Amino acid sequence: MESMASLTEDSATAGEEQGGVRRRDFINVAAVSFAGVGAVSIVLPLINQMNPSADVLAEASTEVDLSAIQPGQAIKTIFRKQPLFVRHLTPKEVAEAEATPLSDLRDPQTLEDRTKAGKTQWLVTMGVCTHLGCVPLGAAEGEVKGEYGGYFCPCHGSSYDTAARIRKGPAPTNLEVPPYEFTSDTAILVG
Amino acid sequence: MSFPWANEYKPSNAFMRYMDEKLPLPRFVYNAVGAGYPVPRNLNYFWNFGVLAGMALMIQIVTGIVLAMHYGADSGIAFASVEHIMRDVNSGWFLRYAHQNGASMFFIVVYIHIFRGLFYGSYKPPREMVWHLGLVIFLLMMATAFMGYVLPWGQMSFWGAKVITGLFGAIPLVGEPIQTWLLGGFAPDNAALNRFFSLHFLLPFVILGVIILHIWALHIPGSSNPTGVEVKSEQDTVPFHPYYTAKDGVGVALFFLLFAVILFFAPNFLGEPDNYIPANPLATPANIVPEWYFWPFYAILRAFTVDFLFIPAKLLGVLAMFASILLLFFLPWLDTSAVRSGHYRPMFRKFFWFGLIPTIVILGYCGGSHATDGIVLISQIASAYYFAHFLIILPIISRVETTKPLPTSITEAVLGNTPANATLQPAE
Amino acid sequence: MIRIGAFLVGLFFSGWLLVSAAMGAFAFVTAPAAPTAEHEFHKPAKSVDFSFDGPAGKFDRAQLQRGMQIFKEVCSACHSLKYVSFRDFKDLGYSEGQVKTIAATWPAETPSINPDTGEAATRKPIPADKIPSPYPNDVAARAANNNAVPPDLSLMTKARHGGSAYVYSLLTGYQAPPAELKEKFPASMPGATTHYNPYFANLNLAMAAPLTTDGQVTYGEGAPKPTVDQMAKDVTAFLTWTAEPKLENRKRAGTAAVIFLLIFLGLCVGAYKNVWADKKKAHA
């Protein structure tokens, strides 16, 4: 089809009849343009097929049972094929997070902004470092929590505090809080 | 390589001049399918099918590559992954149906291309190499299509793979080891599916390579034409572009029209319903049939029902099926008539239209039908004619036939025998 | 040399084929094949009209919903529909909430694991799930159905010759075996666990008539009377949708493509005539 692209110019010499030249050119241009439109309309589905398919988009929401998580503990689970951290903060950690002045923060947010009302001890965040997407340490038993007592990303040294806010290192923003709701006092539904 | 009056490529701007110096690809294209390739002026629409076949291959490659992004070549998930493409992938149904029916379009076009060559004697000197490379492409296409059909892992995929690899089992002594080696097991399973997928992905690019050789070989003598008379002077030819690009445009539009009607309104018309049943090694379909483009060969395979001395009928069928294609390689030496075009060969033309074409249609019908006694009987007679046509009748015709007088030149054939045009101009 | 070799090969293949044909014809005359019950009693699918027939055909959403109801209440007891997800039911005209309810009230549950012990368990399906199968595996399905696995129905209308009409014919085709069958082919009479149906390939199938009485399923307000015929049509329409959920997109895209290509063809013919005008003039 591409070879037809230069058809228009040659047809000027092909169509010698003086009166008919313009109308003829028009048909040639139109034929080539239609070929172009057709090619584009075939290319579109070829590109679109790489977008997430319907089964991927039908996000399976994740239900998390909180009853077994003791204060000071955290669990890792999976939401949208990515790690999800659910952390039960101790009163001390809550106090630390609340005591931090917003002016010290790169991405200013209070603990209340990042948790549900009356449930500030439950910190639910994605386990994806906002720098380049590594999984930070600090959720599992015995892992380094970094100098701010929250999470520490081993890839490039980003440190998060007990509200999973970025305090030090290259990460630009706090760990993302996914949409979720409490379905009971001890269970949440993420997504 | 080309005619002395071929247009010379002239780079139109500084960039093209730079390109022409460093990598003369534009010049190459110009001389191959552009204004620099003089083509006989009298080509009819049957000469569109080479370009159409190339386009069909491109459709298959492009849709195939995107389908491979979603397909899973594992006997446990292959069928489900095809359904995933049909239901969940964006435009997946379109891409899959396009690939599935694109194969049929490719064969339709290639069969017409081959029969064009058979009727107009395109296999004769100096174009034997073009014909041979074309047959290589055809064999590669058949292998590719067969392996592609296995990939959805439906009932017909599985049993097709089993039957076709079983053909190799007919070879004495080494047959069974070869069959096991081909499958990587004792029946088609994961190993076979994975290697078929790998080769199904590879072979189209091999075909592409052989197509380039096919076109290269064609450009040495130049295109043949419906009269079969060689080009003698400049007025016998027109530049490929814009004359034949414009004519091919009409063919392309018609091709896509037919393709669209099949793809959008009858996408499963050419397929077998059994292939929508997941492969089941414990249950054979009532009637194992290949896709329509293999029907004539399948009929020849099944036509052999009686052992010949120590040669079992099964082996005879396999030999005959391969022979039915391989004999085409010998065509330049079987048909020795100096006249190329069937237009000027009254006897050849009768056998072509009333012998060969109906025979192949009948063989196709028989190959697609349930093998009842009557069907087998008909395919035996038709197969007998098929072999006799190429191996016995054609050599005899080319000796005894009185051909009609040829026009002295292509121009004369087109414009009539006017004095101005009748004078032969020797090629400079 | 080539021609002599070819002649001999040709003579061998053609000659032997003709000999085989003669032997076949002789056998055909002296010992004709015995007629079979299938050959004499099998009937081609009935002709039946659906809203989705033809190049502009569309699904009737209300009919699909009724068909879904029949599948849920009747077919799903034995048959799986494993390539279809509950979320796909939005195409039948259900809202997100309705889909959730359909999933949660489905007769079968989705396999899962007990989060505390890791043991196999089941849970209520959610819209993102595929439709759960009535049996955990083929062995269980076989054991529960006299050794015959009820096939998955997702693709049934594309997996049989005759398509939708075949499914409809089968559902409405159960009948008492004709007396003639008993006379001529006693071996083809239905057995203790099979049922006579002339639309089925070998005349007797393991499935008993699933739709037996008018009103077997209670339709909602404004729906047609649930006769066996109507129910068969509705569930067939539903199964046509499960087999080809993109049918409407396909036909719509096809109409646009064909119109576009017809115009393109016209323009190509015009361009072709333009380009060749001077060559034609030389002819005149």
Min Cα–Cα distance to chain C from A27, Å:
6
Task: Check whether C71 has a pLDDT greater than 90.
Answer: yes
Q: Which residue of C has its CA nearest to A9?
A: C275
Q: Mean pLDDT across the stretch C63-71? A: 97
- Catalytic residue at B223? yes
> Nearest to residue B353, comparing CAs of B342, B344, B364, B365?
B342
Q: Is the pLDDT of residue A16 over 60?
A: no
Please state the domain extents for chain A. Answer: 1-51, 56-190
Predicted confidence band at A20 (pLDDT cuts at 50, 70, 90)?
A: low
Output the CA torsion sign for C58, C62, C65, C70.
Answer: negative
Q: Is C260 on the interface with A (CB under 8 A)?
A: yes
Q: Is C26 on the interface with B (CB under 8 A)?
A: no
C271, A31 in Cβ contact below 8 A?
yes
CA distance linking residue B56 with residue B116, whole number of Å: 17
Q: What is the mean pLDDT of residues C75-102?
A: 95
Contact across the interface for C277 and A14, Cβ inside 8 Å: yes
Indicate which of B82, B264, B417 best probes the interface with C, i.e. most C CBs within 10 Å of its own CB.
B264
**Cβ-based neighbour number of residue C255 at 10 Å:** 15
Q: pLDDT grade, residue A12 (50/70/90)?
A: very low
> Using CB atoms, which residue from C87, C128, C264 is nearest to A38?
C264
Q: What is the mean pLDDT of residues A22-50?
A: 90
Residue A24: per-residue pLDDT: 67
Please report the pLDDT score of residue B30 as a whole number: 93
pLDDT classification of A142: cutoffs 50, 70, 90: confident
Share of chain C above pLDDT 70, in %: 98
CA dist., res. B235 & res. B233, Å (int): 5
- Residues of B with Cβ-Cβ distance to A7 under 8 angstroms: 241-242, 245-246
Q: Do A31 and B249 touch (CB under 8 A)?
A: yes
What is the H or E stretch that residue C82 is in?
none
Domains and their CATH numbers in chain B: 1-35 (no CATH), 37-288 (1.20.810.10), 290-410 (no CATH)
Distance CA C20, CA C14 (A): 10
Shortest Cα distance, chain A CAs vs residue B335, angstroms: 37
Closest Cβ–Cβ partner in B66, B88, B245 for A3: B245
Q: Cβ contact (<8 Å) for B242 and A46?
A: no
Neighbours of B235 (CB within 10 A): 18
Q: What is the 3-state secondary structure (H, E, C) of chain A?
A: CHHHCCHHHHHHHHCCCCCCHHHHHHHHHHHHHHHHHHHHHHHHHHHHCCCCCHHHHCCCCEEEECCCCCCCCEEEEEECCEEEEEEECCHHHHHHHHHCCHHHCCCCCCHHHHCCCCCCCEEEEECCCCCCCCCCECCCCCCCCCCCEEEECCCCCCEEECCCCEEECCCCCCCCCCCEEEEECCEEEEC
Mean pLDDT of C173-194: 91
How many Å apart are CA A123 and CA A121, to the nearest integer?
Answer: 6
Across chain C, mean pLDDT equals: 93
Contacts of B among chains (3+ CB pairs under 8 A): A, C
- Answer whether CATH 3.40.50.2300 is correct for domain A56-190: no
Q: What is the pLDDT along chain B (428 residues), one digit of tens a residue?
A: 468 899 999 999 999 999 999 999 999 999 998 999 999 999 999 999 999 999 999 999 999 999 999 999 999 999 999 999 999 999 999 999 999 999 999 999 999 999 999 999 999 999 999 999 999 999 999 999 999 999 999 999 999 999 999 998 888 889 999 999 999 999 999 999 999 999 999 999 999 999 999 999 999 999 999 999 999 999 999 999 999 999 999 999 999 999 999 999 999 999 999 999 999 999 999 889 999 999 999 999 999 999 998 899 999 999 999 999 999 999 999 999 999 999 999 999 999 999 999 999 999 999 999 988 899 999 999 999 999 999 999 999 999 999 999 999 998 888 775 544 444 444 43
Q: Which of A30, A156, A179, A183 is catalytic?
A: A156
How many CB pairs below 8 A link A and B?
57
Whether B247 is catalytic is: yes
Of B90, B242, B256, which has the smallest distance from its Cβ to A48's Cβ? B90
Tell me if chain A has a CB within 8 Å of the CB of C267.
yes
Cis peptide before B125 (omega within 30 of 0): no
Those of residues 110-149 in C touching chain B at CB distance below 8 A are none
In which band, very low, low, confident or very high, does the pLDDT at C278 lie, cut at 50, 70 and 90?
confident
3-state secondary structure of B132: helix
Give me the pLDDT at residue A62, please.
81
The continuous run of DSSP H or E covering B159 comes out as helix B155-168
| Contact predicate C205/C215, CB 8 Å | no
Taking CA atoms, what residue in B is nearest to A48?
B90
Active-site residue, selected from the candidate residues B223, B224, B233, B409: B223
pLDDT tens-digit series, residues A39-72: 999 999 999 999 999 988 886 678 888 988 999 8
Q: Do A45 and B94 touch (CB under 8 A)?
A: yes
pLDDT at A19 over 70: no
pLDDT in tens, A73-95: 999 998 988 999 999 999 999 99
Q: Does B399 touch chain A (CB under 8 A)?
A: no
Structure-token match 């005359």, residue found: C29
- Residue C268 contacts A, CB cutoff 8 Å: yes
| Each residue's pLDDT tens digit, B153-183 | 999 999 999 999 999 888 888 999 999 999 9
Q: What tens digit of pLDDT does each residue of B120-149 get?
A: 999 999 999 999 999 999 999 999 999 999
Q: How far apart, in Å, are the Cα atoms of B72 and each of B81, B198, C123?
A: 6, 12, 28
Q: Are C274 and A24 in contact (CB < 8 Å)? A: yes
Band of pLDDT at residue A25, cut at 50, 70 and 90: confident
| B206: contact with A, CB 8 A cutoff | no
Distance, CA of B161 to CA of B171 (rounded, Å) = 17
Count Cβ atoms below 10 Å from residue B238 Cβ, excluding itself. 22
